């Protein structure tokens, strides 16, 4: 629904407990990866977000049986998969569809895929994905006219592959294809994000042999056949960080449950540097992080880096937080070339932000943002505007919230349970 928006009455301290959902960026890789099994996989802790729903529809278009069992698990039976051409609108509208390249090539040695457009945070090329597939022996043809990629291989043979760019998508995609190649594949200069490790663990549950995920080198010994399995998705690192930042931005006191604290170290460190208290705990069942803030944040500098550095997906939310700091913060985005579309919206709320260069924003803190009508341009820009609206004085209307629905499960109910005044409105 493009006509919906969030109305936020700002200035309310967030207080209480929130439970984090399954990781979007692990889910959108593991769901397509499940087709490698050619049997039934049962996935737990998938978030109810648009991207997961989209993948359900995409797999069903390919002839895969996808349904929800009791207890909210997604069951994927890919024995019935017969079509390796994924060319629908649903495919081309979601970047993570590119994982079908590795999954269908790995199992069927052929695939035709509608390419995802580059969303507004940059060109979003897939040259490293293609480099990896070719290294494994596939012929890959990119039809830029029709925005389709075609790949086929007599067989896939393990290879040594060095990625020119640290890429989450390419690392995962090539891991998928290599898991069923003949022989051993060695991947270097790989991404080490938590969701890369989660996909590797899932592949191993299906009988693959993937070693070293989360380190600089991943070794994969290909298998002729993988099998079905059950698997639980890890908690969402970026949703966790978003709630940590929202808690600090509203001078709140929030316990964030179902987290993996080590995934959050760079975020915890930067929030503590700005004056927040971040307490790690374990209630006997779940790990939690408690974020407490009682003062105006100190200005800090942010540089986004591949994991374990500060995540690019939280650059936009933390900028909203720093708009009300008591100094000047520099925010340097090193991963994407155009991830500052939220700046103009924050300026509508009174933020004082100037661009030092195309990748560095200078944020001069003001006492408080004021409510305004603002427009999300992508998923994490939307998260940034939510944080701004929660912290601002007065009422803020965040439009284009379909972007936010892609990646945050039950956002308004989670925020209201913490004392926020957020209402979903529609024209
Ligand atoms: C994944 O995108 C995430 N998406 C992004 O999260 C996240 O921002 C990004 O990783 C970085 O952490 C999913 O996991 C579905 P990359 P991805 O390949 O894989 C360049 C969100 O908000 N590059 O790691 O597309 C690329 O242009 C989304 O949840 C190449 O040059 O990111 C970028 O500058 C937004 N060639 C850099 O590498 C390639 O073949 C990192 O991109 C691939 C990437």
Strand partners, 139: 152
Contacts of 100 (CB under 8 A, 6+ apart): 32, 35, 58, 86, 91, 111, 113
Cα of 167 from ligand 1 centre, angstroms: 6
* CB distance 20 to 241 below 8 Å: no
Best residue among 22, 25, 166, 318 to mutate for probing ligand 1, ranked by most atoms within 8 Å of CB:
25
Q: What is the pLDDT of residue 70?
A: 76
Return the CATH architecture of domain 4-21+235-426.
Alpha-beta prism (3.65)
Contacts of 157 (CB under 8 A, 6+ apart): 136, 137, 181, 182, 183
H or E segment at 92? helix 89-92
Show the tokens assigned to 158.
Answer: 């393990």
Asked if residue 312 has its Cβ within 6 Å of ligand 1, the reply is yes
Q: Which residues are catalytic?
A: 119
Q: Indicate where the chain has its CATH 3.65.10.10 domain(s).
A: 4-21+235-426, 24-232
pTM: 0.97
Tens of pLDDT along the chain (427 residues) come to 568 999 999 999 999 999 999 999 999 999 999 999 999 999 999 999 999 999 999 999 999 999 998 778 999 999 999 899 999 999 999 999 999 999 999 999 999 999 876 445 667 789 999 999 999 999 999 888 788 999 999 999 999 999 999 999 999 999 999 999 999 999 999 999 999 999 999 999 999 999 999 999 999 999 999 999 999 999 999 999 999 999 999 999 999 999 999 999 999 999 999 999 999 999 898 899 999 999 999 999 999 999 999 999 999 999 999 999 999 999 999 999 889 999 999 999 999 999 999 999 999 999 999 999 999 999 999 999 999 999 999 999 999 999 999 999 999 999 999 999 999 999 8
Pairing verdict, β 110-114 and 139-143: unpaired
Cα of 142 from ligand 1 centre, angstroms: 19
Q: What is the pLDDT of residue 116?
A: 73
Cα of 199 from ligand 1 centre, angstroms: 16
Number of the ligand 1 atom closest to the C-alpha atom of 124: 27
Which residue, by CA, sits nearest to atom 6 of ligand 1?
313
How far apart are the C-alpha atoms of 397 and 217, rounded to whole Å? 45
How far apart are the C-alpha atoms of 312 and 329, rounded to whole Å? 16
Show the tokens assigned to 268.
Answer: 């915890």
How far apart are the C-alpha atoms of 100 and 85, rounded to whole Å? 10
> How far from 106 is each of 25, 173, 176, 197, 243, CA to CA, in Å?
20, 10, 7, 19, 37
CATH classification number, 24-232, choose in 3.65.10.10, 2.60.120.330, 3.40.50.2300, 3.10.129.10? 3.65.10.10
Query: Within 13 Å and on the Cβ side, how many CA atoms surround 168?
Result: 23
């Amino acid at each position: 629904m493009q006509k919906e928006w969030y109305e936020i009455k700002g200035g309310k301290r967030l207080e209480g407990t929130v439970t984090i959902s399954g990781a979007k960026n692990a889910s959108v890789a593991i769901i397509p990866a499940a087709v490698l099994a050619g049997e039934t996989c049962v996935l737990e802790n998938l978030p109810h977000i648009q991207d997961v729903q989209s993948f359900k529809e995409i797999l069903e278009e390919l002839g895969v049986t996808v349904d929800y069992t009791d207890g909210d698990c997604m069951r994927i039976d890919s024995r019935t998969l017969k079509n390796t051409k994924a060319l629908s609108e649903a495919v081309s509208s979601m970047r993570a569809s590119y994982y079908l390249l590795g999954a269908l090539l790995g199992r069927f040695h052929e695939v035709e895929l509608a390419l995802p457009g580059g969303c507004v945070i940059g060109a979003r090329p897939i040259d490293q994905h293609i480099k990896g597939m070719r290294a494994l022996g596939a012929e890959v043809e990119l039809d830029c006219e029709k925005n389709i990629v075609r790949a086929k291989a007599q067989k896939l043979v393990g290879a040594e592959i060095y990625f020119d760019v640290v890429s989450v998508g390419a690392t995962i995609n090539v891991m998928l294809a290599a898991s069923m190649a003949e022989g051993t594949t060695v991947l270097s200069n790989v991404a080490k994000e938590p969701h890369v490790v989660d996909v590797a663990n899932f592949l191993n549950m299906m009988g693959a042999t993937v070693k070293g995920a989360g380190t600089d080198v991943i070794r994969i010994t290909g298998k002729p056949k993988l099998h079905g399995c059950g698997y639980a998705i890890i908690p969402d690192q970026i949703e966790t960080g978003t709630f940590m930042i929202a808690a600090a931005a509203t001078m709140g006191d929030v316990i964030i449950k179902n987290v993996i604290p080590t995934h959050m170290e760079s975020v915890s460190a930067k929030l503590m540097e700005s004056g927040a208290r971040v307490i790690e705990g374990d209630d006997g069942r779940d790990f939690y992080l408690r974020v407490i803030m009682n003062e105006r944040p100190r200005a800090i500098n942010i540089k986004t880096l591949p994991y374990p550095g500060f995540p690019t997906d939280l650059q936009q939310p933390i900028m909203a937080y720093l708009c009300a700091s008591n100094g000047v913060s520099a925010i340097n985005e090193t991963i994407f070339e155009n991830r500052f579309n939220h700046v103009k919206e924050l300026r509508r709320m009174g933020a004082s932000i100037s661009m030092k260069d195309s990748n560095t924003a200078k944020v001069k803190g003001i006492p408080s943002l004021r409510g305004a009508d603002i427009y999300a341009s992508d998923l994490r820009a939307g998260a940034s505007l939510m944080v701004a609206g929660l912290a601002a004085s007065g009422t803020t209307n965040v439009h284009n919230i379909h972007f936010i629905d892609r990646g945050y499960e039950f956002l308004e109910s989670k925020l209201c349970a913490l004392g926020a005044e957020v209402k979903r409105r529609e024209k």
